[in-house]
Amino acid sequence: MRIDRTDSRPLHAQVAGALRAQIRDRTISPGDTLPSEASLCERFGVSRSVVRQALSTLEDEGTVRRAPGRAPVAVGQGEHRRLVQRVTGLFDQFDRTGLSLRTRVLRLERTTAPRHIGEQLGTKDVLLLERLRSVEDGPLAYVRTWLPASRIEGLTATLLTDASLHRLLQDRFGIRLVSGRRQIRAVPADDTIAGHLGIPAGAPLLLLEGSSSDRGGAPVEWFESWHRSDRIVFDIDADESAEQVSLHPAAPPGAARPPERAAGTGAAPPSLSRARSLVAELAVELDRAERAGRTDR
């Protein structure tokens, strides 16, 4: 059962994936105690630190339960977790933990964007993309995305099947998404989405929506992603060092920012406006560095 060292995934992700598969196919049944760390090290041919990182991943996603001084216990089907303040999408976040996310394209067509989305993207000529995201034990999310058509000529459903949209934008179209704004709300499932997610109409969903922009600040996508509230948990990292003063309250989608007041009316001088811009750019760079550091670890 030794892992494949030619695999590009981190060792801990491969170990977590192998244990996850055994729990899901009932080779290890829910309630069973997992082998000791020493046994897992021998079985997979890895160090104890790799095994511990794999077990932490499984614990974070709810696949195993650990108590101080006791061996991990298999839980089976549980909640999946998503970091909502990351620009990276669900596919890439799951891929980093070794969890396979399947993607089925339900719709991809060129169309005219609704007014508020056209204002967000700076164009009404868009591609409308609808996808169903699932794992081995069932569907998790229904995603609707609008993209400026002129920037992604040649995008096809085949390219997007079981693939990451963000990774495809970067590798094929040279577009890297680095910033954006997100908002979350609880909504009832309509008939169409409920049918795809396998839940009753009116069941509660977590709607994550927002926009993403490239390095130059140009908007590239507006998305709405409905998640099963019984299968997905949204996590938010709290870090005092990342806190900063909000100079304006968050505006709803499509709303304009409050204008700067003119000099002599109590407003900040142009130098402060420049400082604000630099703070925003620095926040993006810090977040990117943090993500890179976590990936390296």
Q: How many domains does the chain have?
A: 2
How many Cβ atoms are within 10 Å of 117's Cβ, its own excluded? 22
Q: Name residue, tokens 């509230």.
A: 229
Does a structural domain hold residue 125?
yes
Helix axes 11-24, 48-60, angle to 10 degrees: 50
Q: 251-260: buried (b, 16+ CB within 10 Å) or exposed (e) per residue?
A: eeeeeeeeee
Percent over 90 (pLDDT), the chain = 39
Whole-prediction pTM = 0.56
122 and 178 in a common domain:
yes
CA angle 110, 100, 96 (to 5 degrees): 100
Which is it for strands 138-148 and 219-228: parallel, antiparallel or unpaired?
Answer: antiparallel
107 and 85 in a common domain:
yes
89 and 70 in a common domain:
no
96 and 230 in a common domain:
yes
For the domain that residue 222 is a member of, what is the CATH number? 3.40.1410.10
CA atoms within 13 A on the CB side of 38: 0
Give me the residues of the chain with pLDDT under 70, please.
1-2, 25, 76-100, 137, 235-297
- Residue 31 is part of which domain span? 11-74
Q: Name residue, tokens 């994550």.
A: 208
127 and 45 in a common domain:
no
Does a structural domain hold residue 271?
no
Please identify, among 74, 107, 127, the residue that sits at the C-terminal boundary of a domain.
Answer: 74
Residue 222 CA: distances (Å) to CA of 111, 118, 186: 14, 9, 19
Does a structural domain hold residue 18?
yes
Q: State residue 148's pLDDT score.
A: 96
132 and 222 in a common domain:
yes
Q: What is the tens place of the pLDDT at every residue in 212-263?
A: 999 999 999 999 999 988 777 776 666 565 555 444 444 444 444 434 333 3
46 and 60 in a common domain:
yes
Does a structural domain hold residue 284?
no
29 and 59 in a common domain:
yes
223 and 113 in a common domain:
yes
231 and 110 in a common domain:
yes
3-state secondary structure of 222: strand
231 and 85 in a common domain:
yes
Burial of 239 (0-12, 13-18, 19+ CB in 10 A): exposed
Does a structural domain hold residue 64?
yes
Does a structural domain hold residue 247?
no
204 has which bridge partners?
188
Please identify, among 19, 50, 74, the residue that sits at the C-terminal boundary of a domain.
Answer: 74
For the domain that residue 68 is a member of, what is the CATH number? 1.10.10.10
Please identify, among 34, 55, 74, the residue that sits at the C-terminal boundary of a domain.
Answer: 74
Q: H or E stretch including 185?
A: strand 177-188
> What CA–CA distance (Å, rounded) separates 173 from 150?
11
Q: State residue 291's pLDDT score.
A: 58
How many Cβ atoms are within 10 Å of 80's Cβ, its own excluded? 24
Burial of 274 (0-12, 13-18, 19+ CB in 10 A): exposed
Residue 76 CA: distances (Å) to CA of 23, 79, 110: 6, 10, 41
Q: State residue 80's pLDDT score.
A: 67
Does a structural domain hold residue 266?
no
3-state secondary structure of 246: coil
User: Do 22 and 15 form a contact (C-beta atoms < 8 A)?
Assistant: no
User: Do 145 and 221 form a contact (C-beta atoms < 8 A)?
Assistant: yes
181 and 110 in a common domain:
yes
Tokens of 297: 């670890």
